[in-house]
Structure 1
Amino acid sequence: MEIIGEAVKTIPKQVCEQYRQIKLNKIAGMKDKLIHHYFSVDYDLVWDVVENHIPKLKETIKLILNEE
């Protein structure tokens, strides 16, 4: 999740605006929280992201790459 969050920060603004369905700012924000707020991490939320949101993100990225 940290790697994904860091990678998101390198996506050009025009791409972010084109694909607003991906909440890139939330992905980057979660990465920052994981890195800097060790004792206040909601592990249930982290697990939900791993189980539900990352697979959806992966599929969306595949669709975007196929469009390009």
Structure 2
Amino acid sequence: MDERILKWLFDIKIAIEEIDSYFENQEKDFFKYRENIMLKRAIERNLEIIGEAMNRILKRDLSFESEISNAKAIIGLRNQVIHAYDNISDENIWSILINHLPKLKLEVDQLVDKQ
């Protein structure tokens, strides 16, 4: 695997771990998330990093689109967070955290472990 791609996969892995760390020693609670502007912005920033890293990976090697579920949607979310920030829904971000981030973490871990 290309060294740059491996670096970007680690960037994704670290961003996911950082998001997970925000909920250490506590349950993930949507209502607490919705009321905590710093938490929301921190999570959005990590989602931007994940999306940008994914964008760079696909630009370098399109075959990763089949290795990572929803790779294009991840990039689309990054674009939405950056460019359509006023249309971001707390429910949508929360759904991504609960339903999609664990799968992405698994896929990235498997790709990194191959190295």
Which consecutive residues of structure 1, in runs of 5 or more, have no partner in the other structure? none
Counterpart AA for 2:87 = S
Counterpart AA for 2:75 = A
Q: In the comparison of the two structures, how many residue pairs are matched?
A: 67
Alpha-carbon distance in 1 for matches of 2:81, 2:89? 9
Matched, 1:8 2:47: no
Percent sequence identity over matched residues?
Answer: 30
Alpha-carbon distance in 2 for matches of 1:34, 1:14? 23
Runs of 4+ with deviation above 3 angstroms: none
TM-score (norm 1): 0.81
**How far off its partner does 1:34 sit?**
0.7
Which consecutive residues of structure 2, in runs of 5 or more, have no partner in the other structure? 1-46
Matched, 1:30 2:77: yes
Superposition RMSD in Å: 1.7
Bigger-Rg structure (1/2)? 2
